[in-house]
Amino acid sequence: MPDPGTVRSFSLAVPQTVHAVGCVVFAVMAAWATFRALSLARRQGSDPHAVFVARLSAVLLGLAIALAVPATLKPSRGGPRELADAVRSAAALSCGVVSLFIASARRDASAVSALTSRIRELERDLGGLVSAAGDLRNQAAAVQKGAEAVATVDALTGLASRKLFDEMFARELKRAKRAERPVALAVAQVDWLDRYAGSFGRQSADQLVQGIAKIFQAQVRDTDLLVRFGPDKFAILMPETDQEKAMEVADWIRSMVANSQFANRAEMPGGKISVSIGVGTFVAAAGDASAFQGLVEGALERAAAEKNRLKAVE
C-alpha cells in the first residue's frame, strides 16, 4: 500500500500561495500587454482613437483574465508549469486583441485577418490549459480520497488503523450508553516481539505480526472492529457483547496464537509465540471512553507482566 506521507505530500504539492501569486502575475502581464500595445500604437502613428481603444480593451481584457483564469487554477489543483503556460497564453491573447483593435482602427485588412487567426489559436491554447487544469483537479481529488483511505487502514496487516479506532470507539460507546447496551473491548500485546525482531530481523517480525493478525481476523464477527492498535498490539471492539462472551473470544484467540507453528517459535521463551490480553465491558455507568480504555489497558499491563495471560478489568 502507498505510504500515507508520500500521498499526503503529493496531494499538497502546490501551496496555497500559488493562487495569490497567480493573480498578481496575471495582473502584471495584463499591464505589460497594455504598455506594449500603446507603445506600438505610438510608433505606428495611430490616431488618438486607436490609442483609446487599445487602452480600454487591454484594461478590460486584463481584468477578465486576472479574475477568471486564477480562479480556474485553484490552490493545490495544478502545477507551476500549467500556471506558467496559462500566464503566457493569456498575456499573448491580451496583446493580440489589443493589436487587433489598433489594426481595425487603422483599417489594415491584412493585419486584421492575421491577428484574428492568431487570436483564435491563442484561445484554443488557453482553452486546452484550462481543460488540463480541470483534469489536475480531478487527479488531486482522487489522490486526496486515496490518502484518506490509507489513513484508516494499517499498511502492514490491512486491518483498521488506530485513527479509525479512535473515531469508531467514541461513537460506539455513545451508542451503547444511549441504548444501555454492552460493548466490549479487548486489547492484546504480542509477547517478546522486540526480542523476536532483534534475533530474527525486522522483516521476520513483520511477518509474525501479519500471521497473528490473520488469527484474530478468523475469530471476530463482521460487526466487530479489529484494529492494529500499535506496533505490537491489536484491539477488538465488540458491540452487543457482555464480559463473559468477550473473555471467551479473547481466550480462544490467545490459545490459537500459542499453539500456532510460527517460524522460530522454538527459540522464544517457553518455546512458543504468545499474546497477552486485557478485556473489559462498557456499560452506562462505566464512565467515559477515555476512562474505559484506560481500565482495559491496565488489565493488559497485568496480563503482559505474566505473558500469555488473559486479564479482565477489575
How far is Cα 20 from Cα 75, in angstroms, rounded to an integer? 9
Per-residue pLDDT of the chain (314 residues; tens, 9 = 90+): 444 444 344 344 444 444 555 555 555 565 555 555 556 555 555 555 555 555 555 555 555 555 555 544 444 444 555 555 555 555 565 555 555 555 555 555 566 566 567 666 766 666 666 666 566 666 655 555 554 445 789 999 999 999 999 999 989 999 988 888 999 999 999 999 999 999 999 999 999 999 999 999 999 999 999 999 999 999 999 999 999 999 999 999 999 999 999 999 988 888 889 999 999 999 755 578 889 999 999 999 999 999 999 999 98
Report the pLDDT value the prediction gives residue 283, as an integer from 0 to 100. 75
Q: Where are the domains of the chain?
A: 4-151, 162-312
- Core vs surface per residue 36-74: b (16+ CB within 10 A) or e: bbbebbeeeebeeebbebbbebbbebbeebbeebbebbb
- Residue 271: is it exposed, middle or buried by C-beta count within 10 angstroms (0-12/13-18/19+)? exposed
Report the pLDDT value the prediction gives residue 76, as an integer from 0 to 100. 44
**What one-character DSSP code corresponds to residue 287?**
-
Helix, strand or coil, per DSSP, at residue 108: coil
Report the pLDDT value the prediction gives residue 97, as an integer from 0 to 100. 56
Question: What's phi and psi for 293, nearest 5 deg?
Answer: -60, -40
The C-alpha angle with vertex 79 and arms to 76 and 85, in degrees rounded to 5, equals 135
How far, in Å, are 38, 103, 126, 250 from residue 115 at the CA level?
16, 9, 16, 80
Q: Give the containing element (helix H, strand E) for 222.
A: none
162-312: CATH class: alpha beta
Residue among 279, 290, 283, 286 nearest 313 (CA): 279
Q: Cite the DSSP H helix spans in the chain.
A: 4-11, 17-43, 48-72, 80-105, 109-151, 162-179, 193-200, 202-219, 243-258, 289-306
How far is Cα 165 from Cα 226, in angstroms, rounded to an integer? 9
Rounded to two decimals, the pTM is: 0.56
Residue among 242, 234, 223 nearest 282 (CA): 242
